[in-house]
Chain A
Amino acid sequence: MGWLLARLYLRTAVLRKRSVIIGLFVALEVLLAFNAAGHTTFGNLLRELVTGFMLPVVALVFGSAVIRDDLEGGTLGYFLARPIPHHTLLLSRTGMAALVAMAMGLFMTLGNAVALGASGSELAAATAAIALGAFAYTCVFVALGILFRRTFLAGFMLLFADWALGRMPMGGRFASVRAHVENLAGIEPPFRAVAEMLAPPPSAVTSVLALMALSGGLMAFATWRFRRFEFSGAEG
């Protein structure tokens, strides 16, 4: 049943207009990388365009669609009136949303690596970081979709907060998802202040654990909330 729900999500979410638009932006990012060859490095472009903007936006589009699109479209009632455990519905669709976000993130990573001549080790680290980052961001936006009606607005506010946190000195930036993704990818922060040197970044294992804990905690919370969820008709 979980696979059926995941495939149904894939069919309905990916074919939506905004998913097609985000797909075009992903392709555009790769084209920009080819255009920027010789003017920037793989790490810089990955930080400025992928981890800093495109990856969270892709996750916002697909993560928020997990529950919110069916809730606003009024089709959620069909699922909730079936013998489907709420956690199966939520987790299977979240899994597929994360896979789609990962696929788009990895497409950009690979495109940038080819365009900018990244080494094998750089590509491997970036691949792992982007995959885990896509998963973490998707979980964030799935939870947001359950908590807030205006998921997109709340999502963009959260992205701004994540961006602002990601620029804090003295290790404060590691309160953001972005900083852990960049840490895993081995990307230098945008500034190297003295304060930053005094507080070195956490190990890769710490960043993995932080992202896993965040994702797991948010999904546990989202599942708990969704179990108590009530459907009173289309909200769109």
Chain B
Amino acid sequence: MSLTHLQRLEAEAIHVFREVAASFAKPVMLYSIGKDSSVMLRLAMKAFYPAKPPFPLLHVDTTWKFREMIAFRDRTAAELGLDLLVHVNKDGLEQRINPFTHGPGIHTHVMKTLALRQALDKFGFDAAFGGARRDEEKARAKERIFSFRTAQHAWDPKNQRPEMWKTYNTRVAPGESIRVFPLSNWTELDVWQYILKEEIPIVPLYFAAKRPVVRRDGQLIVVDDSRMTLADGERIEERLVRFRTLGCYPLTAAIESDAATVPDIVREMLTARTSERQGRLIDTDEVGSMERKKREGYF
């Protein structure tokens, strides 16, 4: 029997999960609540069945996530009976860092990148799973499945460890760590087809619905709470929109779509003419911004 494309991807990811569990003292899964995290979580559940995954989930909360995401996060962890760690950068919170006054760059650096580094240091994790895929962005296309980080959480893209076959070098010195990407070889379409096939629950924000949006810099921003103030000439309107990617609500643009089910989304994907990261406001700052963020410790 030869495996289908998705079966191959699934088996490859399960193999990765098991290697980490067998080789590291203290792994953790970065859980960002999005579709990729949902797929990653399903794969982790499969990898260790009939046991539970031998590591906790970690959510780095910027406090600017959609409310529906937080509700989904807590429900998922409770239903699966998994440990969920939530970390917020308290310093950033005290300084009232936010995407509106400080801009996407500083907000993301303080509340996401620095927060993640704090959390990894605090718990002493030596391996952290992330849901990044190589097809997302061209700096990610360069990254290994087992990607080494120094004790300062830095990535040195010019000097990555060779990664031969699926014989992974899992050795790190104290303080150093590995970021592990089980979905490296998946495309966005693969993720959706897997969600369809496996009936994986996802945050409802991925499905089209009437939502209150503001048009800002050519992008549609959903107003998720009262912290968002309107500029002159801006007004809130109801539109049929959904998200291709989820993050902090002021930094994640919606797309106009009537895809209300997973099969609708897959059909929409097959004719899509733009990439999912287009809706990520922090990526378009400049060329190389993803690489720079990654070198600093961003996932």
Check if A and B associate.
no
Which residue numbers of B lie inside 8 Å of A, CB to CB? none
Which residue numbers of A lie inside 8 Å of B, CB to CB? none
